[in-house]
Amino acid sequence: FPVAVLVEICVFFLHEICTHDDEKMLYGHFREDFMWSSASASYQIEGGWRADGKGLSIWDKFAHSPSKILNDDNGDIACDSYNKIEEDVAILKQLKVSHYRFSLSWSRVLPDGTINNINEAGIKYYQRLLDALHAANIQPQVTLYHWDLPQAIEDYGGFLNENFIKLFRDYADLMFDRLGDKVKIWITFNEPIMTANHGYGFGSFAPGISSGPDTLPYIVGHNLIKAHAEAWHLYNDKYRAKQNGIISITVNSDWSEPRNPYRQEDYDAARRVVEFYLGWFAHPIFNGDYSEIMKKRIRDRSLAAGLPQSRLPEFTPEEIKRIKGTHDFFGLNHYTSVLAFPVDHGDAQISDRTWLDTGSSWLKIAPFGIRRLLNFIKNEYGNPPIVITENGVSERGTVDLNDVHRIYYYDQYINEVLKAYLLDGVDVRGYTAWSLMDNLEWTAGFSERFGLFYVNRTDPNLPRVPKSSVNFYTKMVKCNGFPDPESGHDVLDDVTGPELLLPSALNLTVINML
Q: Which of 342, 216, 223 is nearest to 273 (CA)?
A: 342
Q: Which of 456, 373, 512, 485 is nearest to 25 (CA)?
A: 485
Whether 86 is catalytic is no
Residue 371 CB-density burial (10 A; 0-12 exposed, 13-18 middle, 19+ buried): buried
C-alpha–C-alpha distance, residues 396 and 441, integer Å = 11
Question: Per residue in 382-402, is it b (16+ CB within 10 Å) or e — as a string?
Answer: eebebbbbbbbbbbeeeeeee
- Answer for the pair 359, 402: CB distance below 8 angstroms, yes or no: no
- Which value, to the nearest 10 degrees, does the dihedral of the CA atoms of residues 354, 358, 363, 369 take? -60
Q: Which of 250, 287, 232, 186 is nearest to 434 (CA)?
A: 250
C-alpha–C-alpha distance, residues 368 and 347, integer Å = 22
Q: Where are the alpha helices (DSSP H) in 23-119?
A: 42-45, 58-63, 85-95, 106-109
Find the catalytic residue in 87, 390, 395, 416. 390
C-alpha–C-alpha distance, residues 201 and 208, integer Å = 8
Dihedral sign of CA atoms 434, 436, 440, 445 in order:
positive
3-state SS track over 348-385: EEECCCCCECCCCCCCCECCHHHHHHHHHHHHHHCCCC
C-alpha–C-alpha distance, residues 337 and 144, integer Å = 27
Residue 331: which H helix or E strand, with range?
A: strand 330-333
Q: Where in the sequence numbering do the catalytic residues fall?
A: 390
